[in-house]
Amino acid sequence: MEVVLVAVLPAVILTWGTTAWGTGPALALALALPVIHAVWSRAASVAPSPFLPFVVLGALATASVGWFALSPVWFAAKEALLPVGIGLIFAVSDAFGRPLIVPLFERLVELGPIRPGLTVDQNAKIDGALRTLGRMWGGAIALSGVASGVLALAIVHSEAGTEAFNLELGRHTAWSWGVITLPTTLVTMFLLLRTVRRVEAVVGRPLT
């Protein structure tokens, strides 16, 4: 569902819808889909997604590039800056001793009730594993941003607001899903599973 709403449909709309409905409507509809998905995810889940503001901000930034006919370089910059910004937030929160990864991880695995029963050393090992996860995940997100920016520079050349721009945007969306989003998702899953295994090793039993 996520893949369809965030990658496939926007790419199809930008590629085919531009000719059928015109540049503006196709761009608006394509960009609305990731936002609709993010809002729907938020409504369906108990806790709001911390990445929701970034999804909305990203869609608005892309729409601005199209509607205000800015240079396509701005689109590449936007593609790079948002994920790099998220990576920086991870790094800064870690440097200030309040790693963002801890509440994010605890959205998946509730550690609060487990922690008091563990020793201080075990808690420190869990915190260490979470910090490693945060650094690697933040790095992967930042790297995906740089890759997306480079891909945008390679694919999107036409003047924003034109039919050609929308077509290139569609190609970029399709390509970036395959060569950036999917690998980043796989890396994220690997890192999360590895961390869960490490925490389970510290706790001495499977996490439910």
HSE-CB at 200 with a 13 A cutoff on CA atoms is 11
Question: Judged by CB under 8 A, which stretch of 69-77, 117-125, 150-158, 188-196 contacts another protein?
Answer: 117-125
Nearest to 54 by CA among 90, 28, 98: 90
Rule CB under 8 A: choose which of 44, 96, 116, 204 binds another protein. 116
The minimum distance between CB 62 and another protein, in angstroms, equals: 39
Q: Does 203 bind another protein (CB under 8 A)?
A: no
The minimum distance between CB 118 and another protein, in angstroms, equals: 6
Question: Judged by CB under 8 A, which stretch of 53-61, 72-80, 121-129, 187-195 contacts another protein?
Answer: 121-129
Question: Can you say how many angstroms the Cα of residue 68 is from the centroid of all Cα atoms in its chain?
Answer: 25
Q: Does 121 bind another protein (CB under 8 A)?
A: yes
Q: Which of residues 125-144 bind another protein (CB under 8 A)?
A: 127-128
Sequence letter at residue 87: G
Q: Other C-beta atoms within 10 Å of 51: how many?
A: 15
Question: Judged by CB under 8 A, which stretch of 83-91, 123-131, 159-167, 170-178 contacts another protein?
Answer: 123-131
Q: Kindly determine how many residues on this chain lie close enough to bind another protein according to the rule CB under 8 A.
A: 13
Q: Does 119 bind another protein (CB under 8 A)?
A: yes
SS3 per-residue string spanning 175-193: HHHHHHHHHHHHHHHHHHH
**Distance between CA atoms of 166 and 185, rounded to whole angstroms?**
26
Answer yes or no: are the C-beta atoms of 76 and 149 closer than 8 Å.
yes
Contact residues: another protein, CB under 8 A: 97, 115-124, 127-128
